[in-house]
Amino acid sequence: MIIEAAADRYIPAMDVPEFRTVGCLVFDGVRAFDYAVIGEVWAERAAGHGPRFDLRVCGPDGARVRLGGGLERVPDHPLAALLDCDLVMIPGITDPAAATPPAVLDVLRAVHARGTPLASLCAGAFVLGEAGLLDGRAVTTHWALTAELARRHPAADVRPEVLFTGDDGIWSSAGVAAGIDLCLHLVRSAHGQQTAAAIARAMVTAPFRAGGQAQFIPSPVPEADAAADPLAGVRSRVLADLGRPWTVRSMGALGHMSERSFARRFAGATGTTPLRWLLDQRILAAQQLLEETGLPVDEIAVRCGFASAVSLRPPFTRRVGVPPREYRSTFRGRTG
């Protein structure tokens, strides 16, 4: 099996502590879409699907905030409430060149000093940079803004090719839908695949896209739209039999395509290669079986397409951040 996971080594999954209280930072110029994404994942959509999160919308002095698109929001809590949160989310901003209020920068530095994870969506990375929190860390933002982010913060390790990344408690994501991917990844890392998948289903969005997947997809196609995407049926058949030794050729045969044609069309539809996608799905399936069953690791490995627990361990550890047995032990010790 060809393992194409180089980009994902910047995306540790297990450095996210279990959290229940999530802070959403708002101030003038925050993008309404990103703010809404945070609310969808950690407020209404989370109800009835795993642990109930306490989402706190925090802003300067409780004043009315003007979001992008002409919307307004009165924060429920002052900025200081972010200091008591388990995770703090920074939505994207409409104008990366605009100066961030000093009080916002001060509280972000204080939150980080307490060891609380910070996660930015889209151009929210510029706010983290202005707070001095990106030096020496891997970071990403919308592909159209990565050059400017690198120019302003030359000490940051800007990665324009990924959907999201995390480094030493600082998380960041690319534009629009990648913010959803990061939010679901954080839920998955802290509370398990089942909770993340339930929230994704409620939002009618794809439950898993690896952070190392390419940002720019020439021909984006909804994962579940089989009519628009003729390869959706192929993916479904592969997912139903992950234990089979799939190759690009055998997957292409399901779609009645040559190996080269299948690989090209698959990348155009998903933004990743067939083998990388297959590895992502196998690791994801192994995570779910480790969380939800008592099956031996060797049996889980075979069910997911690996020869044994020994062959599962290296790619699982690279992608998830810890070996399979440690992963199981971590999630069995969690209650939500």
Q: Give the Cα separation of 200 and 60 in Å (integer).
A: 31
- CA 139 to each of CA 112, 123, 173, 213, 229: distance values in angstroms, whole numbers, following the listed order: 16, 11, 8, 14, 32
Q: Are residues 95 and 193 in the same domain?
A: yes
Q: What is the pLDDT of residue 336?
A: 44
Nearest CA to 147 out of 138, 159, 137 is that of 159
Q: Are residues 289 and 195 in the same domain?
A: no
Q: Are residues 174 and 300 in the same domain?
A: no
Say if residues 278 and 239 touch (Cβ distance below 8 Å).
Answer: no
Question: DSSP per residue over 247-282, as a string?
Answer: -HHHHHHHTT--HHHHHHHHHHHHSS-HHHHHHHHH
Main-chain dihedrals φ then ψ at residue 200, nearest 5 degrees: -60, -40
Q: Are residues 176 and 280 in the same domain?
A: no
Domain final residue pick, 170, 203, 236: 203
Say if residues 58 and 81 touch (Cβ distance below 8 Å).
Answer: yes
In a domain, 151, yes or no: yes
Q: Are residues 127 and 41 in the same domain?
A: yes
Q: Give the Cα separation of 55 and 46 in Å (integer).
A: 10
Q: What is the pLDDT of residue 48?
A: 60
In order along its 336 residues, the chain shows pLDDT tens digits of: 222 223 343 344 445 567 789 999 999 999 999 999 999 888 755 556 567 789 999 999 767 899 988 889 999 999 999 999 999 999 999 999 999 999 999 999 999 999 999 999 999 999 999 999 999 999 999 988 999 999 999 999 999 888 889 998 999 999 878 899 899 889 888 887 778 878 887 776 765 565 554 444 333 333 444 445 678 889 889 998 999 999 999 999 998 999 999 999 888 777 788 999 999 899 988 988 988 889 999 999 999 999 999 999 999 988 777 789 988 887 665 544
In a domain, 127, yes or no: yes
* 84, burial (CB in 10 Å: exposed 0-12, middle 13-18, buried 19+): middle
Main-chain dihedrals φ then ψ at residue 66, nearest 5 degrees: -95, 110
Say if residues 287 and 327 touch (Cβ distance below 8 Å).
Answer: yes
Question: DSSP per residue over 47-85, as a string?
Answer: TTSSSPPEEEEEEGGG--EE-TTS-EE--SEEGGGGGG-
Domain hosting 324: range is 276-332
Q: Give the Cα separation of 112 and 133 in Å (integer).
A: 8
Say if residues 119 and 89 touch (Cβ distance below 8 Å).
Answer: yes
Q: Are residues 61 and 143 in the same domain?
A: yes
Number of domains in the chain: 2
Counting every residue written for the chain, the total comes to 336
Q: Are residues 199 and 281 in the same domain?
A: no
Q: Are residues 49 and 184 in the same domain?
A: yes
In a domain, 210, yes or no: no
In a domain, 13, yes or no: yes
Q: Are residues 199 and 291 in the same domain?
A: no
Domain final residue pick, 187, 203, 219: 203
Q: pTM above the 0.75 mark?
A: no
In a domain, 215, yes or no: no
Q: Give the Cα separation of 107 and 135 in Å (integer).
A: 18
* 48, burial (CB in 10 Å: exposed 0-12, middle 13-18, buried 19+): exposed
CATH number at residue 81: 3.40.50.880
In a domain, 223, yes or no: no
Q: Give the Cα separation of 236 and 232 in Å (integer).
A: 6
Q: Are residues 186 and 295 in the same domain?
A: no
CATH number at residue 310: 1.10.10.60
Q: Are residues 165 and 23 in the same domain?
A: yes
In a domain, 300, yes or no: yes
In a domain, 57, yes or no: yes
Other Cβ atoms less than 10 A from the Cβ of 39: the count is 17
Angle 309-320/324-332 helices, nearest 10 degrees? Answer: 70
Q: Are residues 166 and 41 in the same domain?
A: yes
Other Cβ atoms less than 10 A from the Cβ of 81: the count is 17
Domain final residue pick, 152, 170, 203: 203
DSSP, collapsed to helix, strand or coil, labels residue 164 as strand
Say if residues 193 and 280 touch (Cβ distance below 8 Å).
Answer: no
